[in-house]
Amino acid sequence: MKDEALQAWGYFHDWYLDSLTIGPNVEPRALALGLHLGSRRAVVTFNGATCVAVDRLGLLNIVYGIHVIAPDDAKYERACRVLAAGERLTDRKANSLAFVYSTLGAELAIECDSVDARVFDEGTVDPVSLPLP
């Protein structure tokens, strides 16, 4: 899986993580992160999540970057170690590993099938994604 949706928004560098939503207890699961920066909001959804580990979640969480980590990436081993602390509720293994690096606060390792990102103006009643920058 590629991370064009993340790359288009600068991997959400310096955005604030202010919510984490876990979908219903059915397969396939979804995990969504709510982010904001200025007057913009984003929802980054990890579809087909099979395992997640959250570390250092605090009252203030600033994202350094959200990345899909390839097995040949030097950071892959560390991401796998963090993910190993998570609880796996299924025998299925998703095909990708995403990692939320922090400037301050929460870091997350997420095993998932795909990642989607929607960005919209805060206060929008029916948010429609903004065009890519």
Whole-prediction pTM: 0.91
Strands 96-104 and 62-69: antiparallel
Q: What is the pLDDT of residue 133?
A: 59
pLDDT in tens, 79-132: 999 999 998 988 999 999 999 999 999 999 999 999 999 999 887 755 555 565
Give dist(CA 132, CA 86) in Å, integer: 33
From the list 112, 129, 131, the residue with the least C-alpha distance to 67 is 112
What residues have CB less than 8 Å from 62, skipping those under 6 apart?
A: 14, 15, 16, 17, 102, 103, 104, 105
Look at residue 41 in the predicted model and tell me its pLDDT: 95
Residues 63-74 have pLDDT tens digits of: 999 999 999 999
As beta bridge partners, residue 103 has none
**How are the residues of the chain apportioned to helix, strand and coil, as percentages rounded to the nearest 5?**
10, 45, 40
For the chain, percent of residues with pLDDT exceeding 70:
92
pLDDT at position 78, please? 96
Task: Check: CB of residue 50 under 8 Å from CB of residue 90.
Answer: yes
